[in-house]
Amino acid sequence: MEFFHRPTSFPFMATRKVWYTLSAILMIGSFISFATRGLNLAIDFTGGVTVEATLTKTADIDAIRSSIESAGFKEPQVQNFGSSRDIAIRLPPDSTQTAAVIRSKIDAAIKAIDPGATILRLEVVGPQVGKELQTSAAWALLFTLVFIGLYIMLRFHTWRLSLGAILAVMHDPILVLGIFSITQTPFDLAVVAAVLAVIGYSLNDTVVVFDRIRERFEHNRRLAPALVLDQSINQTLSRTIMTKVVTAIVVVALLFLGGPVLRGFSEALMIGILAGTYSSIYISSSVALDFGLTAEHVFPSIKKSAVDQTP
């Protein structure tokens, strides 16, 4: 079986304005949502209290909310979590009460509604921990981008490809954040991990395409750059789609079978994989072309690169 029986020849470079526009719309949409709605930060980042409980019958969310309010907690968020009998309660940070007190109060408040309820998980995160996590997540993002940019620069000898890779790679987390902002999906630490994994992974395709570009240039240095880029993307297209399908299979398994704890993580991965495939096909090479990529940039001297070795 094969997706593409013979090599395809889609005119990616000629149509690049279309793809730029599409990306621009997606990016602007993400930024607008980000600026106006922000992210629904989980208590990992804001500090506060999360309680997960399971009830013996279908949860009456409103009754539980008012029971918790009358126990003296302000603005409780009560949601179904997983099934109709499981609930998640979120409370804003409150440093005047110890976790043990909060636990017993919440326990009593839920049991007043359903005596057979049990608390499955209780998390109390201090506000300063949340702030630090925000900072370290931001640093992690920045470092990843910088190091990857440097690596591409070293490997492919030209900032043009490096810039293309970085733009394509930034495109993906921005879209993930944008969609998380639009849907207000809870954004927790696991999602940050997913976003970083996406950055590394979406670059896979870009790098494979770039590798092919280098090979094509080596093969024939006189070919027009736009043609070389088109050929390279088309020749690697089967592989790009194939690996993404396989990774998507496992991520779908995670999404549907991994349970609510991994839901946000798997959604971020799914969006990131789709966005990553798109950006490495339609964005990364086109950007390099628009910044004037030629064979000379990839091979400053006529020396055969010594990387192709047998493992």
Partner 1 sequence: MLEYARWKYILVAAVLLIALLFALPNVFGDDPALQVASKNHENLDAAAQKTLEQFLKERKIEYSRSYIDSGRVMIRLPDVGQQLQARDAVNEKFKDQYITAMSFAPRVPDILRKVGLRPMPLGLDLRGGLYLLYQVDVDSAVGQYLEGYGQDIRRALSAANLPYIDVQAVTVDSDRPNTVRVLLPPATDRGAVRAAAAKAVPDLTFETVSLPSGEAVQAVLTPQKIRERQDYAIQQNLTTLRNRVNEMGVAEPIVQRQGIDRISVQLPGVQNSAEVKDILGKVATLEFRLEYTQGNAFEAAARGRAPLGAKLYTYEGRPVLLKREIIVTGDQLTNATSAPTQDGPGVSLKLDARGGDAMLKNTRANVNRRMGVVYIEKRRETSEVNGQQVTRDITDQRVINLATIRGVFSNNFQITGLTAGESRDLALLLRAGSLATPIYSIDERVVGPSLGKDNIRKGVNALVIGMLAVFLFMAIYYRTFGLVADVVLLANVVLLTALLSMMRTALSLPGIAGIILTVGMAVDANVLIYERIREELRNGVSPQAAIRLGFEKAFSAIADSNITTLIAGVVLWVFGTGAIRGFAVVLTLGIATSMFTSLMGSRALLTLMYGGRRKIARLSI
**Per-residue tokens: 29:** 């949409």
Q: Pick the closest to residue 166 from 183, 147, 140 (CA basis).
A: 147
* Residue in 81, 265, 278, 282 binding partner 1, rule: CB under 8 A: 265
Measured from the CB of residue 214, what is the shortest distance to partner 1 in angstroms?
A: 8
Q: Pick the closest to residue 225 from 149, 155, 158, 305 (CA basis).
A: 158
Q: Does 8 bind partner 1 (CB under 8 A)?
A: no
**Per-residue tokens: 189:** 């630490």
At 10 the three-state DSSP class reads: coil
Measured from the CB of residue 248, what is the shortest distance to partner 1 in angstroms?
A: 8
Q: Does 38 bind partner 1 (CB under 8 A)?
A: no
Measured from the CB of residue 223, what is the shortest distance to partner 1 in angstroms?
A: 18
Q: Does 250 bind partner 1 (CB under 8 A)?
A: yes
Per-residue x/- track, 45-64, partner 1 (CB under 8 A): -------x------------
Token match 């968020």: residue? 77
Indicate the residue among 204 and 294 with the shorter CB distance to partner 1: 204
**Per-residue tokens: 156:** 């492919």
Q: Does 122 bind partner 1 (CB under 8 A)?
A: yes
Q: Scan residues 170-199 and list those touching partner 1 (CB under 8 A).
A: 189-190, 192-193, 196-197, 199
Q: Does 235 bind partner 1 (CB under 8 A)?
A: yes
Instruction: Determine contact, residues 84/59, Cβ cutoff 8 Å.
Output: yes
Quote the DSSP letter at residue 158: -
* Residue in 15, 21, 83, 136 binding partner 1, rule: CB under 8 A: 136
Instruction: Determine contact, residues 177/30, Cβ cutoff 8 Å.
Output: yes
* Residue in 211, 218, 221, 274 binding partner 1, rule: CB under 8 A: 211
Q: What is the number of other CB atoms lying within 10 angstroms of the CB of residue 301?
A: 6
